[in-house]
Structures are given as C-alpha cells and as structure tokens.
Amino acid sequence: MLARCRGAFFLLLLPLFCLSSGCRNKTDLVESQLRTKEIMYREAMEEQRRTEAQIIAMHREIEALRQGAKVTPEQAAQTFGLKRIVLGRATGAFDHDNLPGDEVLQVVVEPRDESDHAIKSPGSLQIFTLEITPQGVKTPLFSWEVGPEQLRRTWKQGLLSTGYTLTLPWKNPPTTEQVRVIVRFITADQRRYEAEKDIKVRLLPGAAQRRLEMIPDASPLPAPSQEMGPILVPTSKTTTAYRPAPLTQWHPIAPTSTQRD
C-alpha cells in the first residue's frame, strides 16, 4: 500500500519536473541569444567607431594636402588619425642597478585614435619633469627632446601597454619624492598633444640632505629702531591729517616799473 502511494506521488510530481526542466532550458536558450546579440552589438559599435575615426582622419589628410603638406600614404592614417596621447601605466621611476634609490625615469607614451586604440603615430617628443615639494611648490627639474627617428625606434607592443617606451637616466636626481612628468607630442603637421602624470620616486642616498642645503636659512625679522619716536594719530573725526608742504625753493620777485612809480 505504501509503495503504491509513493508511486502515485511520483507520477503526480513528474509533470512538474518536466515543466521546470523545460522552463530552465528555455531560460538558458534566451540568455544565450541575448549574450550573442550583445556581442554583435558591441562589435557593430566598435566597427562604427573605427569607421568614424577613418573618416575624420581622411578629412584631416585632405585639409593637409590642400595646404601643401607632404605626407606619405603609409603615415597618413597614423598622423591624421591621432586624437590624444596617454601616459601608460609603466610610466614611473625605476631602480636598474639594485642599489638604493631610483636612478632612471621610464616614460611610456601611447598615441590614441578616435576609437581609443594605440597607433604608431610619427612625431617628436618633449619631456619635462617638475619637483613637487610637500608645500606644493613646483620646481623645474630637467627636460629631454627626442627626434622623430629616435622616437620611432622606441616603439614597443606588449600585453600591458603598447606605445613609445623611453628609459631616461636622471641628469639632476630629484630631491623630493613627488615628481610630475609632462609629455608633449608634436606630429609631422605641427599639431601638439600633451599629457601629464605624478609619480613617486625613491630618492637616492643624500638627496634629502641636499634638499635641506638648498633651502635658505630663515633669518629673524629686524627689530624696530629705538630712535624712532612715537607717532601721534589724531582721534577726532574733524581733525585734518597733517601733510607736510612740498619742498620748494623760494625766489624774490623783482620789482617792476609800475611798482617803482
């Protein structure tokens, strides 16, 4: 009797199990279709941005050619497709000699197009560094200039970043831990793009002491002279402040003929 009841119970629950499994399969199918459509939508948007970037680059190229600029077809897309530059995550101070302190500066410049993709845009580079004191005062440290041919050889493509990677030894080692790096990228048609980033530097031994030596000693203010007497300030509102008369040289007036008569 108990076995018959269990069998009847399972027969009653069997349609529910089939219905739930069928709903689950339909849900998985709908989710799979939605993911596929989302991927297709992203690819379409990416293709649209790429096409817009090419159109903008072609307009810039046409304007440059109208003005008489000489640009080869190989450089046209990289030159006129540039929208901005970005300092890569690998930009910072590094220690290459396993000694205390960071003795080199690494700068990674990533030219980006309208789709925010890194492109090998030709041009020259100017790098400026500023020391930032704890009080926020910015002092020029040093600058570098990199020509087009030298910059072209520094292009690197990796997993973390793709762009121009330069390793520059400090000519004047920083004396503060906070340094601002400013990069100016100049294209072949003299367009300029800038980017900046604050980095943390591990100072070389003796840098902090050298910074203290550069700061002038704060001398106390001179005490007021004791020979100066008190200054009387009138308190009455109707009293006119005394103003000394201007120093002039007096000359007597010569008598005229009418005065003699």
> Is residue 174 situated within a structural domain?
yes
> Is residue 141 situated within a structural domain?
yes
- pTM of structure: 0.57
* Percent of the chain scoring above 90 in pLDDT: 31
> Is residue 116 situated within a structural domain?
yes
Number of domains in the chain: 1
List pLDDT tens digits, range 52-92.
666 766 666 666 555 665 555 545 556 677 889 999 999 99
| Mean model confidence pLDDT for the chain | 74
Q: Is the pLDDT reported for residue 161 higher than 90? A: no
Selected residue with higher pLDDT from 57 and 184: 184
Q: What is the CATH number of the domain that holds 98?
A: 2.60.40.10
Selected residue with higher pLDDT from 171 and 25: 171
> Is residue 72 situated within a structural domain?
no
By mean pLDDT, which of 13-22, 33-42, 235-244 is the weakest? 235-244
98: left (phi over 0), alpha (psi -120 to 50) or beta: left
List pLDDT tens digits, range 137-151.
999 998 999 999 999
> Is residue 220 situated within a structural domain?
no
List pLDDT tens digits, range 88-145.
999 999 988 888 889 999 999 999 988 888 888 999 999 999 999 989 999 999 899 9
Selected residue with higher pLDDT from 49 and 256: 49
> Is residue 245 situated within a structural domain?
no
Integer Cα distance of 79 and 160 in angstroms? 24
What is the average pLDDT across 234-245? 50
Q: What does the pLDDT read at residue 166? A: 95
> Is residue 147 situated within a structural domain?
yes
Q: What does the pLDDT read at residue 218? A: 45
Provide the pLDDT confidence category of residue 234 given band limits of 50, 70 and 90. Answer: low
User: CA 163 → CA 25, 56, 118, distances in Å?
Assistant: 47, 22, 7
H helices of 181-251, in order, are 207-214
List pLDDT tens digits, range 211-230.
555 555 444 545 545 554 54
Q: Based on the number of CB atoms within 10 Å of its own CB, is 244 exposed (0-12), middle (13-18) or buried (19 or more)? A: exposed
Give the chain's end-to-end CA distance (angstroms, integer).
165
> Is residue 87 situated within a structural domain?
yes
Q: What does the pLDDT read at residue 105? A: 94
Q: What does the pLDDT read at residue 14? A: 57
What is the average pLDDT across 169-178? 89
Domain that holds residue 101: 83-214
Q: What does the pLDDT read at residue 81? A: 79
Integer Cα distance of 176 and 16 in angstroms? 73
Q: What does the pLDDT read at residue 188? A: 81
